[in-house]
Amino acid sequence: MTLRTALMGTTLAAIAAPALADVNIYTTRQPELIEPVMEAFTEETGIEVNLSFIDGGIVERLQAEGTRSPADLVMTVDIANLSQIAEAGVLQPVESEVLTSAIPAELRSDENLWFALTTRARIVYASKERVADGEVTTYEDLASDTWEGRICTRPGTHNYNLALMSAVIAHHGEEAAAEWAQGVKDNLARSPQGNDRAQVRAIWAGECDISLGNTYYMGQMLEDEEQQEWANSVRIVFPTFEDGGTHVNVSGIGMTQAAPNRDEALQLMEFLVSPEAQAIYAEENHEYPVLESAEVSDVVAEWGTFEADTVSLDELAANRGTALRIMEEVNFDG
């Protein structure tokens, strides 16, 4: 074989089997939380994944980059963030039977602009010493006189609490939601402050008896030697709405309008709802998989099961402005 023939053969082979493109992701999630599942995708497909952590201004960045953006996908947490990105017009709809069959309708955009990958329940952390089993069962309970001076929470204007407030509006309407917000405020043991773990520390210290928090913080506290004592002082309670289930929020993903590597990006999105990926994702982050057949981690399994509320996340996103207005009108954080 001549050199010319050899080179021609190499060229034809390259044309027949083009090199796989990388997938580029802008994410507000700490890269170490999602690297394990990305590594599993690369091992299975040979497609590399590049993560760019963006702490703030992700919408503005995508808008400024426009069609020149290198980002194929955006990953973030909370329906408020997903909705904001979708409303900015920087995402494209994705038609995929794999995604729509794996993810319940209430956990994805009506226009298929974003898809939930994991869920987290907004639950009650209750003191094992001072709160009896069954003493709190519903979100509505939190506004009753039983809990006067006994509740701790992070600021009411934080996205996590605004999402819960949006769910209260969805179930009971604006007027009743405002009464509920005032009732919960009246029951606070201290002004809203800190994050969800800080509330569990306050329960451990005897400052309050119950708090609102996301489930995965329990897993994080159990992994931290300094916080294990806080975690062991409380139990997780899954309250429900009187006419619904336990409020959940999500981490999710969307494909950018620019998406230079659309085929590979879609391949990754579909991989992320596979049983393998869902198990890894849930294990690493102490979250719940959206795929019903996927198993939760042993740590999460110990918390018990719950019936998730079925109010659509699109409806919660639509209620966010009203939720914020109510929180400000009752001066919840004051």
pLDDT of the residue at 6: 35
C-alpha–C-alpha distance, residues 15 and 132, integer Å: 68
For all residues of the chain together, what is the average pLDDT? 92
The pLDDT tens digits of the residues spanning 32-70 come to 889 999 999 999 999 999 999 998 899 999 999 999 999
Instruction: State pLDDT tens for residues 73-86.
Output: 999 999 999 999 99
CA atoms within 13 A on the CB side of 33: 17
How far apart are alpha carbons 296 and 316 in whole angstroms? 25
CATH 3.40.190.10 residue spans of the chain: 20-119+249-301, 121-247+308-329
- What confidence score (pLDDT) does residue 19 get? 63
Residue 34 structure tokens: 């999602």
Do 213 and 122 contact (CB within 8 A), yes or no? Answer: yes
Topology of domain 121-247+308-329, CATH: D-Maltodextrin-Binding Protein; domain 2 (3.40.190)
164 within 8 A of 78, measured Cβ to Cβ: no
pLDDT given for residue 144 in this prediction:
97
Nearest-angstrom CA–CA distance, 184 and 2: 82
Instruction: Write the single-letter amino acid at 250.
Output: V
- Cβ neighbors of 32 (< 8 A, separation 6 or more) are none
pTM (whole model) above 0.85: yes
Q: Which of 52, 47, 46, 43 is nearest to 25 (CA)?
A: 52
User: Which structure tokens are listed for 56?
Assistant: 């703030």
- The residues with which 27 forms a beta bridge, in sequence order, are 53, 75
Residues of the chain with pLDDT under 50: 1-17
CB–CB of 116/107 below 8 Å?
Answer: yes
Which CATH code is given to the segment(s) 20-119+249-301? 3.40.190.10
Cα–Cα distance for residue pair 106/116, rounded to 1 Å: 9
- The pLDDT value given to residue 283: 85
- Angle (CA) 129-134-139 rounded to 5° is 105
